[in-house]
Amino acid sequence: MMKNYDIDIDGAGPGGYVAAIKAAQLGAKVALIEKEYIGGVCLNIGCIPTKSLIKSAKVYKDIINGDNYGIDVDVSSVKPNMKKIVNRKNGIVNKLTSGVKFLLEKNGVKVFNGYGSVKDNNTVIVGEDILTTENIIIATGASPIIPPIPGVKEAYSNNVLMTSKEALSLSEIPQKLAIIGGGVIGIEFASIYSNLGTEVTILERLDNILVNVDDEIRDTLLKTLKKNKVKIITKANVSSINDKEITYQLEGKDTLIKVDKILLAVGMKPNVEDFKHLNLDITKQGINVNDKMETNIKGIYAIGDVTGKIMLAHVASSQGIVAVENIMGKVKQMDYSKIPSCIYGYPEIAMIGITEQTAKNQNLDYKVSKFPVAASGKALADGEFEGFIKIIVDKEYGELLGMHIIASNATELISEGIMTMELEGTVFDMAKAVH
């Protein structure tokens, strides 16, 4: 059946569904097409389920450390139950995705559950339906990179090797877990499973984990990971996988380790395959867009991970709003200079703006200030006193250039830095504000 829309959005993740609701609110007739999950990776097999597992692992850890808070605990009888942990996670995901479905409906967005095939810049086909449209927003996200390591595919089909998707729904806690890739996913899952009692080994190809994180923050995280007995092997070149055995080369020497499960987390690649016939400008990074989220084809926009700009849910949502506002006649541009990012390990890490290393490399006239969390009464009372807050400011005016936090509530605390930077505030403004 032929149907006409102002905007067709392909993909209902945090880019697509936010764009759809915004567009409908601005008066557009919107079709949102989704082949798998409303809410995308983030709500179903990414950010939200991860946070749910992180909380379960934290509760377990807090209970077994009950003695520190004056609670007598028979530690031998306290056990994490993976089935229940996964059920709780599924409940949260269902609640959230139902909420998103309700919001879409309430705002009058027409959702098509199916595979959206973009024929040209005015036509999208979903099953029997032919949707004609003025504008298309591509929001199809990204998928895990599967590197050509011998044995990877076999280990995946044997359920030994997993991506983050499967690692969120295990039926048992593995005794030994190897994580290939010391990036954000690697660290979050290392934190979850090491807290649940798993022996975790991270194999990272580069000479450091989390290469984009401030050096001092990383050093502190490394100490906590070590305390949790997470083994981190950097400069490790995984050469083959044979079911539960991984062989890696380190400084020319082969080493073999045996594990129960392997998590592969070596980055994501944009889902661009379905758009190659459109003459879009597509690079290895993703679909090329300008700051208004326009592609090289008039009327086609791209947002989120498929653009490969910064693969974060909140960036996708923000890009979605920018795309829609431009379509609806406003002039809006993305600014990537003030994007916060968070890593939900133990403790949490949150950051915005430049790192000290960048300030140094750019020869900026800057000043660094630090505050140890252990000096906060609230942190002491919480028993969560690891970490520090570090700010980088312009020496002349005190403008906030960067904020980096490693602390138990880092991902909430960073909001202060976000607002200050958005308002181009100074460290003096921050100090003057009564807290």
423 lines the binding site for ligand NAI (CB under 6 A): no
Structure tokens at 287: 């679909």
The CA distance from 76 to 64, in Å, is 9
CB-closest chain residue to ligand NAI: 183
Residue 364 and residue 361: Cα distance in Å, rounded? 8
Q: Which is nearer to ligand NAI, 28 or 41 (CB)?
A: 41
Per CB under 6 A, the list member of 116, 186, 286, 308 interacting with ligand NAI is: 186
Among 160, 265, 272, 430, binds ligand NAI (CB under 6 A): 265
Q: How far is the CB of 175 from ligand NAI (least distance, A)?
A: 22
Kindly state the smallest distance separating residue 345's Cβ from ligand NAI, in Å: 9
Q: Which residues contact 318 (CB under 8 A, 6 or more apart)?
A: 334
Residue 5 binds to ligand NAI (criterion: CB under 6 A) = no
Residues 316-345 that bind ligand NAI (CB under 6 A): 341-344
Name the percent of the chain in helix, strand, coil, to the closest 5. 35, 25, 35
Instruction: Tell me whether residue 210 or residue 427 sits nearer to ligand NAI (CB atom).
Output: 210
Q: Is 185 in the site for ligand NAI (CB under 6 A)?
A: yes
DSSP 331-364: -----GGG--EEE-SSSEEEEEE--HHHHHHTT-
Nearer residue to ligand NAI within complex by CB, 44 or 135:
44
C-alpha 189/C-alpha 266 separation (Å) is 13
The nearest distance, CB 410 to ligand NAI, in angstroms, is 11
Q: Which residues pair with 301 in a beta bridge?
A: 137, 294
Which of 139-169 are b and which e, b meaning 16 or more Cβ less than 10 Å from the residue's Cβ? bbbbebeeeebebbeebbeeebbbbbeebbe
Per-position x/- string for 66-105, each x denoting binding to ligand NAI as judged by CB under 6 A, each - no binding: ----------------------------------------
Contacts for 105 with CB less than 8 Å, ≥ 6 apart: 111
Among 71, 75, 206, 433, binds ligand NAI (CB under 6 A): 206
Q: Which residues form the interface with ligand NAI (CB under 6 A)?
A: 147, 180-186, 188, 203-206, 238, 265-268, 311-312, 341-344
